[in-house]
Structure 1
Amino acid sequence: MATKNNSQNSLRLDRRETKCSVFLCREKPDANQPVIFNPDFFVERLKHEHPQTFLDLVLSNITRLIDLPGEEFAQLTGESEPKVPSSSGFLRSFNFRKRKEKGLIFGAPLTEEGIAQIYQLIEYLSKNLHVEGLFRVPGHSLRQAALREMLNTATEIDLETGDFHPNDAATLLKVYLGELPEPLLTHRHYHAHLKIGELTCFDEKGNKTNDPDKERQIEAFQLLFMLLPPTNRSLLKLLLDLLYHTARSQHLNKMSAINLATMFAPHIIWPKNVTASDLQGSIEKLNNGVAFLIRHSQKLFKAPVYIKEYARLFYTGSKTLQSNDDLNLSSGSKTGSIAAIIAPSPSPSMRSIAGESSSTRSIKPSENQSYTESCLRELYMQVNSMPESAKKKKLIRQFEKQPDPTSSAETRTPFIKRHGRSRSAGGIIKRKALGGQISAAKENGTAESSSLFLKRWVD
């Protein structure tokens, strides 16, 4: 009896020491603020409800990171056919004949049904990561043929019975990827992958180094993967997750990330129907790129912070949206990543939400207005210091024609292009550029200096 009581007491103590990750919140939820647990919820919603806005947002940030000439950019967007290395006509005709015998899964275009079948292989392999030489050592040809037929006909399979070896499943997974009509990473993205691999760090003088810029590469891959077809993205995530955990067990299976990349690059990123000689010097880049995907796979399928914030602001009623560069300026980040996405004031490159009338928007003045005022003040002082000429008088007259903007600052809309002779910021010049000197003159009691200054303005 005493032993039983002691065990119950120890159990209670263990429960007290256990940290609980669930807590109750008695605060009433804000009816105006939706409770979203998926951080990419608004991103996915924007992608499906406003595909063009989403596409423009992602493409603008990709081109900020990598240089894509007109033709390569057109290939990425699908406006032109992808131009990738190709092989001889004989090899193309041979592969075409080979694909004619395709079944439900192998050799067929990628579908959700196909992914569901292939997932059985991935799930089985994830339980056998200890097998030495996994993905390198080929399986038995007869067992592979039987397993292939079962997958092609959607037959129910129990891989745990021991009828098949993990090497059979591993080899068949590579065969399936190799027989897809298009690489898993698509022909359209081929040149973008090469360019991302060339992103390197800069030294203190602004010169490029040989050190890869991992943060920018991860950001570029995050954006690029958001443009993949949903089925490609789903299977790629499953595959890279499997290879990531395989590489983590390399002390058992002897398969590092670069070894796995060498095995899989020809199947997921090489253009179809090519040989190693067709790719010339790109093989090392492609292998290193796939190895990078394996090592950082746990970060690549998350939307960048500024994309999440854009999508959130799009649906939560904010009047302005900011780009990645603007948020970097607001947070004072030097690394390019955004630590805090909350920006207290709108920036000069604010993006207006599509569909919102510019006549109904209202933007409050911010710190950027002070920056604009200082720039205009400096501009006016430069004009005023010019030698007397007809050009100088003309410029000063243009400044004089501008009204005081403070009265309409609440109703002005950013990013409205005004005519050169329209009214804009003359009041800033008169108040800021001249007002400081006039007030200083008054404080010093030099009324004569003030009158001379005003006379100079009138002249």
Structure 2
Amino acid sequence: MGLSCFNAGQGDEWLKSLNKGVWIPFTGVFGQRLEETVLYERRYGVRLVPLVVEQCVNFIRERGLQEVGLFRQPGQSSLVKELQEAFDAGERPSFDSSTDVHTVASLLKLYLRQLPEPLVPHRRYQDFLLCAQKLATDGTLVLGELRSLLHELPVVNFNLLNFICQFLYEVQSYSSSNKMSGQNLATVFGPNILRAKAEDPQSIMGG
């Protein structure tokens, strides 16, 4: 997963130094620009990722890491929609022992999928794609290039990508139980993290 390219807590000082007087209107969470969500949620304390992501990940860590088909098996669509609407209404719905792990996993995927722009911005798509192709042939020589690309991402994108990758690394460490290898997770999450702006067949196959 290339976790050595990340530094935990990257961007924390940037968030703390933001102008305290900025007013961000609340227009929901799903489908909202990542930076605006992070800025708005400062009222709950400085954090590096949106509350919905943090809450979903924490719940899955506690209850679902060994769940077979995690992130591949769909959750309850009606409950996913209900939770989405609650977050979009400014609520902070809680998950409990009766909450289905696959529903929470589906909610997390939905949040990433509905970001107006993926975590790797469209303008950097080709750069990351070329770097990935080089990594496939000679990983050690290209790690420096990958680090540079990662640190050129907007800070909020970098922080969320860091958070998600560390979590997915943890998920795949339980692959003997959940049957979700790194490749399986890449298949599920890849299109939500790295995708071309123009959804033409060549771009899709390249990604």
Match of 1:109 in 2: 33
Q: 8 Å contact 1:143–1:164 — kept in the other structure?
A: no
Instruction: Assess, with a 3 A threshold, how the Cα gap between structure 1 residues 189 and 273 changes in structure 2: closer, same or farther.
Output: closer
Deviations 1:99-124 (A, max 9, x none): xxx95110110031371232111111
Structure 2: gaps (5+ residues): 1-6, 15-25, 42-48
Instruction: Assess, with a 3 A threshold, how the Cα gap between structure 1 residues 184 and 280 changes in structure 2: closer, same or farther.
Output: closer
Instruction: Assess, with a 3 A threshold, how the Cα gap between structure 1 residues 271 and 198 changes in structure 2: closer, same or farther.
Output: closer
Matched, 1:243 2:168: yes
Shift, 1:151, TM fit? 1.6
Alignment partners' CA distance in 1, 2:192 and 2:155? 19
Match of 1:138 in 2: 74
Shift, 1:227, TM fit? 0.8
Alignment partners' CA distance in 2, 1:280 and 1:104? 29
Is the helix fraction higher in 1 or 2? 2
Shift, 1:249, TM fit? 0.6
Matched, 1:217 2:142: yes
Deviations 1:363-411 (A, max 9, x none): xxxxxxxxxxxxxxxxxxxxxxxxxxxxxxxxxxxxxxxxxxxxxxxxx
Match of 2:4 in 1: none
- Structure showing greater Rg: 1
Alignment partners' CA distance in 1, 2:137 and 2:113? 29
Matched, 1:228 2:153: yes
Q: 8 Å contact 2:52–2:87 — kept in the other structure?
A: yes
Match of 2:46 in 1: none
Q: 8 Å contact 2:196–2:204 — kept in the other structure?
A: no
Shift, 1:280, TM fit? 5.4
Match of 1:185 in 2: 120
Q: 8 Å contact 2:195–2:204 — kept in the other structure?
A: no
TM-score normalised by L of structure 2: 0.76
Match of 1:265 in 2: 190
Aligned length: 174
Deviations 1:59-89 (A, max 9, x none): xxxxxxxxxxxxxxxxxxxxxxxxxxxxxxx
Alignment partners' CA distance in 1, 2:140 and 2:132? 12
Give the alignment of 1:430-441 within 5 angstroms: none
Give the alignment of 1:276-355 within 5 angstroms: 277-279=201-203, 281-282=205-206, 286=207
76, 86, 91: which is aligned to 1:155? 91
Alignment partners' CA distance in 2, 1:134 and 1:258? 13
100, 123, 128: which is aligned to 2:58? 123
Q: In percent, how many aligned pairs have the same letter? A: 29
Alignment partners' CA distance in 1, 2:31 and 2:87? 12
TM-score normalised by L of structure 1: 0.36
> Could you tell me which amino acid in structure 1 is paired with residue 65 of structure 2?
L
